[in-house]
Amino acid sequence: MKIVVLVKQVPDTTDVRLDEKTGNLIREGLESIINPDDRHAIEAAVRLKEGRSGRVTVLSMGPMQAIDVLSESIGMGADEGILLSDKAFAGADTWATSFTLGKAIEKIGLFDLILCGRQAIDGDTAQIGPQVADYLRIPHVTYVCDVEEVKKKTITAKRRLENGYEQVRCALPALLTVIGELNLPRYPTMDRLIHACREKAPIKVWNAADVGVQTRQVGLEGSLTHVIKTFAPKFKREGEILNGDTKVVVHELIERLKKSEGATACKAFSSTCKL
Ligand SMILES: Cc1cc2nc3c(=O)[nH]c(=O)nc-3n(C[C@H](O)[C@H](O)[C@H](O)COP(=O)(O)OP(=O)(O)OC[C@H]3O[C@@H](n4cnc5c(N)ncnc54)[C@H](O)[C@@H]3O)c2cc1C
């Protein structure tokens, strides 16, 4: 079984802070890690390979330092890594990112399954998986929390919904986006990490020419969306504690709410409580 896993290097934080002037992410003091969902995708791929013969290729697009996430993936059991790195890829929106990843997968050749995380903790769009599947014209299943059965031509997966689960069978090749509930990712082993960091490590770096794309098709130039402004919302917390006899205080609160924007909600509240 030939599996391609998409992995993204992200800053080690869910509290993404932005520079107010430039709108750029503040990266100072932040470590880079494999996007958390992607670790579950790697674990799933390695388990699927262990149960049958196969090959796991991890693919990432990013700056040269993203090679670290490929080494770590190989440390966890992936067979090879490919980094898409080129100045031309910089500033890509999700469409240009998916297009570039799709082109690289076409170059990798025949595959049975593509696994990726549901969502990256920095970009947060959850668009890459479905967009890559669309580019490759293959079916995709999102929010996968269990891979129940893999046959030669089909895969059965359980996906998490807001109020339950859904069991889905689809034809292979397919793409799954996975969530943390799927498995417990293993730690990389020391011998495999050393193997991944050796001079003859099974990691390739491909540029725009290698994947057969022109500069105008990728990166900022190839992006269909343009970010006008990026900013964090300002939260203002102004609390006031009303002290005193409960009945008096509750009435005072209701009177104040009536005068505020929440007047309609307050009406419903006071009639329910019969105060
Ligand atoms: C106009 C515009 C300009 C942008 N400019 C920049 C920029 O200059 N620099 C920058 O860093 N970002 C930039 N971005 C953000 C960048 O487009 C997204 O980070 C990227 O497309 C992935 O989207 P996401 O992070 O929402 O991933 P999601 O869709 O949330 O990720 C889901 C999964 O897809 C896979 N995946 C996502 N990204 C990659 C990747 N790069 N390689 C391999 N697998 C991946 C992972 O498995 C991940 O778990 C820009 C976005 C826009 C709209």
Q: Supply the pLDDT for residue 174.
A: 98
Domain ranges, residue 248: 237-275
19 and 129 share a domain?
yes
What residue ranges of the chain have pLDDT lower than 70?
Answer: 14-15, 22-24, 261-275
**Cα-based distances in Å from 14 to 11, 31, 33, 60, 187:** 8, 12, 12, 20, 21
Give the pLDDT confidence score for residue 239 in this predicted structure: 81
* Residue at 230 is within a domain: no
The residue assigned the tokens 């080129």 is 86
For position 264, what pLDDT does the model report?
63
The CATH number assigned to the domain holding 116 equals: 3.40.50.620
Q: Are residues 84 and 199 in the same domain?
A: yes
Determine the pLDDT at residue 19.
Answer: 75
Say if 172 falls within a structural domain.
Answer: yes
Instruction: Give the list of residues 6+ apart from residue 165 with CB closer than 8 angstroms, or none.
Output: 145, 158, 159
Percent of the chain with pLDDT over 70: 92
Asked if residue 102 is part of any domain, the answer here is yes
- Is residue 61 domain-shared with residue 93, that is, in the same domain? yes
The pLDDT value recorded for residue 86 is 97
Burial class (CB in 10 A: 0-12, 13-18, 19+), 163: exposed
Domain identity same for 69 and 128: yes
Same domain for 206 and 243, yes or no, is no
What per-residue confidence (pLDDT) applies to 47?
Answer: 96
- Whether residues 263 and 149 fall in one domain: no
- Does the Cβ of 216 fall within 6 Å of ligand 1? no
Residue 12 lies in a domain: yes
> Do 152 and 241 fall into the same domain?
no
Q: Copy the structure tokens of residue 208.
A: 């725009």
Q: Is residue 231 part of a domain?
A: no
**Contact call for residues 78 and 41 (beta carbons, < 8 A):** no
| Position 232 in a domain | no
Does ligand 1 have an atom closer than 6 angstroms to the CB of 125? yes
140 and 263 within one domain: no
List all residues 6 or more positions away from 92 whose beta carbon is below 8 Å from its beta carbon.
61, 100, 218, 219, 220, 222, 223
Same domain, 244 and 217: no
Task: Verify whether ligand 1 is closer than 6 Å to residue 226 (CB atom).
Answer: yes
Q: Is residue 228 part of a domain?
A: no
**Is 253 inside a domain boundary?**
yes
> CA-CA distance, 147 to 126, in Å (whole number)?
20
Contact 96, 222 (CB under 8 A): yes
pTM tops 0.75: yes
What angle, 0 to 180 degrees and rounded to 10, lies between the N-to-C axes of helices 67-76 and 36-51? 40
- 227 pocket-lining for ligand 1 (C-beta < 6 Å): yes
Top mutation candidate among 8, 103, 121 for ligand 1, by most atoms within 8 Å of CB: 8
Q: In the chain, how many domains are there?
A: 2
Specify whether 131 is located in the same domain as 101: yes
Do 101 and 115 form a contact (C-beta atoms < 8 A)?
no
Q: How far is the CA of 211 from the centre of ligand 1 (A)?
A: 18
First to last CA, the chain: 67
| 209 and 265 fall within a common domain | no
Q: What is the DSSP string of 153-182?
A: SEEEEEEEETTEEEEEEEESSEEEEE-GGG
Please indicate, yes or no, whether residues 158 and 108 belong to a single structural domain of this protein.
yes
